Structure 1
Amino acid sequence: MTATGGCLCGAIRYEVTGPLRPVVACHCNQCRRTSGHYVAATSALKRDVVIAGTPRWFASSDTAQRGFCGTCGSNLFWDGPSNEMAIFAGTLDGDPGVRLATHIFCADKGAYYEITDDLPQAPGDHPLPWVGDRA
Protein backbone atom coordinates (compact mmCIF):
# COMPACT_ATOMS: atom_id res chain seq x y z
CA MET A 1 0.00 0.00 0.00
CA THR A 2 1.21 3.50 -0.80
CA ALA A 3 -0.38 6.73 0.34
CA THR A 4 0.75 10.27 -0.46
CA GLY A 5 -0.01 13.70 0.85
CA GLY A 6 1.30 17.14 1.55
CA CYS A 7 0.73 20.68 2.66
CA LEU A 8 -1.47 23.34 1.08
CA CYS A 9 1.29 25.11 -0.87
CA GLY A 10 3.09 21.93 -1.99
CA ALA A 11 6.43 22.71 -0.31
CA ILE A 12 6.12 19.54 1.82
CA ARG A 13 5.13 16.21 0.29
CA TYR A 14 5.26 12.75 1.85
CA GLU A 15 4.81 9.14 0.88
CA VAL A 16 3.81 6.24 3.13
CA THR A 17 4.73 2.76 1.89
CA GLY A 18 3.20 0.72 4.72
CA PRO A 19 -0.14 0.33 6.47
CA LEU A 20 -2.02 3.24 7.99
CA ARG A 21 -3.87 3.05 11.31
CA PRO A 22 -7.57 3.98 11.32
CA VAL A 23 -8.18 7.68 11.88
CA VAL A 24 -8.41 8.92 15.46
CA ALA A 25 -9.99 12.27 16.35
CA CYS A 26 -8.01 13.93 19.14
CA HIS A 27 -9.77 16.59 21.19
CA CYS A 28 -6.85 17.43 23.53
CA ASN A 29 -5.97 21.04 24.28
CA GLN A 30 -2.77 20.94 22.19
CA CYS A 31 -4.49 19.56 19.11
CA ARG A 32 -7.30 22.07 19.42
CA ARG A 33 -4.87 24.98 19.75
CA THR A 34 -2.65 23.94 16.84
CA SER A 35 -5.52 23.23 14.46
CA GLY A 36 -8.26 25.61 15.58
CA HIS A 37 -10.61 22.66 16.20
CA TYR A 38 -9.74 19.00 16.81
CA VAL A 39 -7.27 16.85 14.87
CA ALA A 40 -8.12 13.77 12.84
CA ALA A 41 -4.96 11.71 12.32
CA THR A 42 -3.86 8.34 11.08
CA SER A 43 -0.37 6.99 11.74
CA ALA A 44 2.33 4.90 10.11
CA LEU A 45 5.62 3.37 11.09
CA LYS A 46 8.32 6.05 10.87
CA ARG A 47 10.43 3.82 8.63
CA ASP A 48 7.55 3.78 6.11
CA VAL A 49 7.27 7.58 5.82
CA VAL A 50 9.44 9.55 3.39
CA ILE A 51 9.18 13.34 3.58
CA ALA A 52 10.18 15.59 0.66
CA GLY A 53 10.80 19.19 1.66
CA THR A 54 11.74 20.45 5.08
CA PRO A 55 8.98 20.66 7.67
CA ARG A 56 9.40 22.93 10.66
CA TRP A 57 9.15 21.13 14.00
CA PHE A 58 7.72 22.51 17.22
CA ALA A 59 8.48 20.69 20.50
CA SER A 60 4.98 20.65 21.97
CA SER A 61 6.04 18.63 25.03
CA ASP A 62 9.10 16.94 26.52
CA THR A 63 8.37 13.83 24.45
CA ALA A 64 6.68 14.97 21.23
CA GLN A 65 6.98 17.41 18.37
CA ARG A 66 4.59 18.66 15.72
CA GLY A 67 5.60 19.04 12.08
CA PHE A 68 4.17 21.76 9.87
CA CYS A 69 4.95 23.66 6.69
CA GLY A 70 6.96 26.81 7.40
CA THR A 71 5.51 28.47 4.28
CA CYS A 72 1.75 27.85 4.40
CA GLY A 73 1.45 26.69 8.03
CA SER A 74 -0.28 23.37 7.29
CA ASN A 75 -0.20 20.98 10.25
CA LEU A 76 1.13 17.66 8.97
CA PHE A 77 2.64 15.40 11.64
CA TRP A 78 2.82 14.54 15.32
CA ASP A 79 5.98 12.65 16.25
CA GLY A 80 6.33 11.12 19.71
CA PRO A 81 8.38 8.44 21.43
CA SER A 82 6.88 5.39 19.66
CA ASN A 83 8.07 3.89 16.39
CA GLU A 84 5.16 5.61 14.63
CA MET A 85 4.37 9.09 13.44
CA ALA A 86 0.86 10.50 13.31
CA ILE A 87 -0.17 12.02 9.98
CA PHE A 88 -3.00 14.53 9.83
CA ALA A 89 -5.68 12.79 7.76
CA GLY A 90 -6.76 15.94 5.93
CA THR A 91 -3.33 16.17 4.30
CA LEU A 92 -3.64 12.79 2.53
CA ASP A 93 -4.26 12.72 -1.22
CA GLY A 94 -7.36 10.99 -2.55
CA ASP A 95 -8.82 8.07 -0.63
CA PRO A 96 -6.18 6.00 1.16
CA GLY A 97 -8.88 3.71 2.58
CA VAL A 98 -8.76 4.78 6.24
CA ARG A 99 -11.81 5.95 8.16
CA LEU A 100 -12.51 7.66 11.47
CA ALA A 101 -12.65 4.98 14.18
CA THR A 102 -12.66 6.70 17.58
CA HIS A 103 -12.33 9.93 19.56
CA ILE A 104 -9.70 10.50 22.26
CA PHE A 105 -9.19 13.09 25.00
CA CYS A 106 -12.92 13.81 24.93
CA ALA A 107 -12.71 15.16 28.49
CA ASP A 108 -10.74 18.09 26.99
CA LYS A 109 -13.01 18.79 24.01
CA GLY A 110 -14.15 22.31 23.27
CA ALA A 111 -17.39 23.51 24.85
CA TYR A 112 -18.60 24.95 21.54
CA TYR A 113 -19.25 21.60 19.81
CA GLU A 114 -20.72 18.16 20.43
CA ILE A 115 -19.47 14.79 19.21
CA THR A 116 -22.55 13.45 17.45
CA ASP A 117 -21.40 10.25 15.73
CA ASP A 118 -21.71 6.79 17.28
CA LEU A 119 -17.96 6.10 17.45
CA PRO A 120 -16.26 5.26 20.77
CA GLN A 121 -15.21 8.21 22.94
CA ALA A 122 -12.30 7.90 25.36
CA PRO A 123 -11.86 10.52 28.08
CA GLY A 124 -8.06 10.25 27.73
CA ASP A 125 -5.49 8.57 25.52
CA HIS A 126 -5.58 6.09 22.77
CA PRO A 127 -7.93 3.06 22.88
CA LEU A 128 -6.66 1.69 19.52
CA PRO A 129 -3.38 -0.13 18.97
CA TRP A 130 -0.86 1.74 16.88
CA VAL A 131 0.22 0.16 13.60
CA GLY A 132 3.51 -0.88 15.21
CA ASP A 133 1.62 -2.67 17.98
CA ARG A 134 0.01 -4.86 15.32
CA ALA A 135 3.13 -5.38 13.19
Structure 2
Amino acid sequence: MSIADPYRTSGVLHGQCLCKAVQITVDGDYIAAIGICHCLMCQRSNGVVFGAFEAAPGTVTATGPVQTYASSSFAERTFCGTCGSALWLRDTGPEPAGYELMPGLFPDAHDFPLISEIYHDKAPAYLPFSGDHRRGTQAQYESKNAHIEGDI
Protein backbone atom coordinates (compact mmCIF):
# COMPACT_ATOMS: atom_id res chain seq x y z
CA MET A 1 0.00 0.00 0.00
CA SER A 2 1.25 3.47 -0.90
CA ILE A 3 1.47 6.21 1.72
CA ALA A 4 -0.95 8.20 -0.48
CA ASP A 5 -3.64 5.50 -0.76
CA PRO A 6 -5.77 6.71 2.18
CA TYR A 7 -5.90 10.16 0.56
CA ARG A 8 -6.96 9.10 -2.94
CA THR A 9 -10.24 10.70 -3.88
CA SER A 10 -12.17 11.97 -6.87
CA GLY A 11 -14.01 15.21 -7.42
CA VAL A 12 -13.76 18.73 -8.76
CA LEU A 13 -11.38 21.40 -7.47
CA HIS A 14 -11.15 24.97 -8.76
CA GLY A 15 -8.09 27.18 -8.45
CA GLN A 16 -6.52 30.32 -9.81
CA CYS A 17 -3.21 32.12 -9.95
CA LEU A 18 -2.43 35.33 -8.07
CA CYS A 19 -3.69 37.68 -10.81
CA LYS A 20 -6.65 35.39 -11.64
CA ALA A 21 -5.67 35.27 -15.32
CA VAL A 22 -5.19 31.48 -15.12
CA GLN A 23 -8.14 29.40 -13.97
CA ILE A 24 -7.46 25.72 -13.20
CA THR A 25 -9.91 22.87 -12.75
CA VAL A 26 -9.15 19.38 -11.49
CA ASP A 27 -11.97 17.04 -12.48
CA GLY A 28 -11.25 13.45 -11.53
CA ASP A 29 -8.84 11.52 -9.34
CA TYR A 30 -6.38 13.31 -7.09
CA ILE A 31 -4.53 12.80 -3.81
CA ALA A 32 -5.85 15.08 -1.07
CA ALA A 33 -2.47 15.34 0.67
CA ILE A 34 0.74 17.33 0.25
CA GLY A 35 4.25 16.17 -0.58
CA ILE A 36 7.22 18.50 -0.17
CA CYS A 37 10.55 18.53 -2.02
CA HIS A 38 13.70 20.29 -0.81
CA CYS A 39 15.99 19.59 -3.80
CA LEU A 40 17.97 22.59 -5.00
CA MET A 41 15.99 22.83 -8.25
CA CYS A 42 12.70 23.09 -6.35
CA GLN A 43 14.22 25.61 -3.94
CA ARG A 44 15.37 27.77 -6.86
CA SER A 45 12.10 27.44 -8.74
CA ASN A 46 9.82 28.21 -5.80
CA GLY A 47 12.02 30.45 -3.69
CA VAL A 48 12.32 27.97 -0.84
CA VAL A 49 10.22 24.80 -0.89
CA PHE A 50 8.08 22.89 -3.37
CA GLY A 51 4.80 21.55 -2.01
CA ALA A 52 2.22 19.86 -4.20
CA PHE A 53 -0.70 17.49 -4.42
CA GLU A 54 -1.03 15.01 -7.26
CA ALA A 55 -3.79 14.75 -9.85
CA ALA A 56 -4.15 11.96 -12.40
CA PRO A 57 -3.28 12.42 -16.09
CA GLY A 58 -6.08 14.02 -18.07
CA THR A 59 -7.84 15.55 -15.06
CA VAL A 60 -6.50 19.11 -15.26
CA THR A 61 -7.67 21.92 -17.52
CA ALA A 62 -6.37 25.46 -17.45
CA THR A 63 -7.36 28.63 -19.24
CA GLY A 64 -5.34 31.80 -19.53
CA PRO A 65 -1.68 32.61 -20.20
CA VAL A 66 -0.14 29.27 -19.14
CA GLN A 67 3.60 29.10 -19.87
CA THR A 68 5.79 25.99 -19.71
CA TYR A 69 9.49 25.70 -18.87
CA ALA A 70 11.52 22.50 -19.37
CA SER A 71 13.32 22.58 -16.03
CA SER A 72 15.21 19.33 -16.62
CA SER A 73 15.52 16.51 -19.13
CA PHE A 74 12.63 14.73 -17.42
CA ALA A 75 10.19 17.40 -16.17
CA GLU A 76 8.48 20.66 -17.02
CA ARG A 77 7.08 23.39 -14.80
CA THR A 78 4.17 25.63 -15.70
CA PHE A 79 3.42 29.12 -14.51
CA CYS A 80 1.15 32.07 -15.24
CA GLY A 81 2.63 34.20 -18.01
CA THR A 82 1.22 37.34 -16.39
CA CYS A 83 1.95 37.12 -12.66
CA GLY A 84 4.46 34.24 -12.60
CA SER A 85 2.53 32.05 -10.14
CA ALA A 86 3.75 28.45 -10.23
CA LEU A 87 0.93 26.15 -11.41
CA TRP A 88 2.20 22.58 -11.67
CA LEU A 89 5.11 20.25 -12.38
CA ARG A 90 4.87 17.25 -14.74
CA ASP A 91 7.25 14.53 -15.80
CA THR A 92 7.84 14.49 -19.56
CA GLY A 93 8.50 10.79 -20.16
CA PRO A 94 6.77 8.62 -22.77
CA GLU A 95 3.89 7.65 -20.45
CA PRO A 96 1.11 10.15 -19.68
CA ALA A 97 2.16 11.95 -16.52
CA GLY A 98 0.03 13.21 -13.69
CA TYR A 99 0.20 16.71 -12.33
CA GLU A 100 1.91 17.95 -9.19
CA LEU A 101 -0.24 21.00 -8.46
CA MET A 102 0.52 23.95 -6.19
CA PRO A 103 -1.92 23.71 -3.27
CA GLY A 104 -1.99 27.48 -2.64
CA LEU A 105 -3.94 27.94 -5.88
CA PHE A 106 -6.85 25.84 -4.59
CA PRO A 107 -8.91 27.00 -1.58
CA ASP A 108 -10.12 23.43 -0.99
CA ALA A 109 -6.51 22.21 -0.58
CA HIS A 110 -5.99 24.37 2.52
CA ASP A 111 -6.67 21.47 4.88
CA PHE A 112 -4.77 18.76 3.00
CA PRO A 113 -2.28 17.10 5.37
CA LEU A 114 1.47 16.92 4.81
CA ILE A 115 2.37 13.26 4.22
CA SER A 116 5.93 13.30 2.85
CA GLU A 117 9.17 15.23 2.43
CA ILE A 118 11.90 14.28 -0.03
CA TYR A 119 15.45 15.63 -0.03
CA HIS A 120 14.85 16.18 3.67
CA ASP A 121 18.62 16.42 4.21
CA LYS A 122 18.68 19.46 1.86
CA ALA A 123 15.97 21.40 3.74
CA PRO A 124 16.98 24.87 4.93
CA ALA A 125 17.64 24.95 8.69
CA TYR A 126 15.12 27.76 9.11
CA LEU A 127 12.29 25.68 7.64
CA PRO A 128 11.57 22.60 9.76
CA PHE A 129 8.30 20.79 9.12
CA SER A 130 6.99 19.01 12.19
CA GLY A 131 4.48 16.25 12.49
CA ASP A 132 4.21 12.60 11.68
CA HIS A 133 5.03 12.20 7.99
CA ARG A 134 7.49 10.23 5.87
CA ARG A 135 10.90 11.84 5.32
CA GLY A 136 13.47 10.76 2.76
CA THR A 137 17.00 11.91 2.00
CA GLN A 138 18.49 12.73 -1.39
CA ALA A 139 20.21 9.32 -1.51
CA GLN A 140 17.01 7.46 -0.63
CA TYR A 141 14.94 9.26 -3.26
CA GLU A 142 17.52 9.02 -6.04
CA SER A 143 18.11 5.31 -5.39
CA LYS A 144 14.45 4.74 -6.34
CA ASN A 145 14.48 7.19 -9.27
CA ALA A 146 17.43 6.31 -11.48
CA HIS A 147 16.61 9.00 -14.08
CA ILE A 148 17.60 11.69 -11.58
CA GLU A 149 21.36 12.17 -11.45
CA GLY A 150 22.22 14.21 -8.40
CA ASP A 151 20.52 17.21 -6.90
CA ILE A 152 20.14 19.65 -9.75
Taking structure 1 as the reference length, the TM-score comes to 0.83
| Structure showing greater Rg | 2
Say whether the 8 Å CA contact 1:24–1:101 is kept in structure 2: yes
Q: Are residues 1:110 and 2:124 paired?
A: yes
Alpha-carbon distance in 1 for matches of 2:108, 2:75: 28
Q: Which has more strand, going by share of residues?
A: 2
User: Which is worse superposed, 60-69 or 21-30?
Assistant: 21-30
Identical aligned pairs, as a percentage?
A: 29
Equivalent pairs counted in the alignment come to: 126
Q: Are residues 1:90 and 2:104 paired?
A: yes
Cα root mean square deviation, aligned: 1.9
Q: Are residues 1:6 and 2:26 paired?
A: no
Detail structure 1 runs of 4+ shifted over 6 Å in the superposition.
none
Deviations 1:98-126 (A, max 9, x none): 32211111122223332332322111339
Q: Are residues 1:15 and 2:25 paired?
A: yes
Q: State the structure with bigger RCO (CA 8 A, min sep 6), 1 or 2.
A: 1
Which runs of no fewer than 5 residues in structure 2 stay unpaired? Answer: 1-10, 143-152
Alpha-carbon distance in 1 for matches of 2:116, 2:44: 20
Deviations 1:9-53 (A, max 9, x none): 011111011122221011111111111111110011121111111
What's the secondary structure of 2:129's corresponding residue?
coil
Q: Are residues 1:34 and 2:35 paired?
A: no
Distance 1:96 1:4, change over 3 A: farther
Alpha-carbon distance in 2 for matches of 1:10, 1:46: 24
Which runs of no fewer than 5 residues in structure 1 stay unpaired? Answer: 127-135
User: Which is worse superposed, 30-39 or 8-17?
Assistant: 30-39
Distance 1:97 1:2, change over 3 A: farther
Q: Which amino acid aligns with 1:91?
A: L
Distance 1:35 1:86, change over 3 A: same
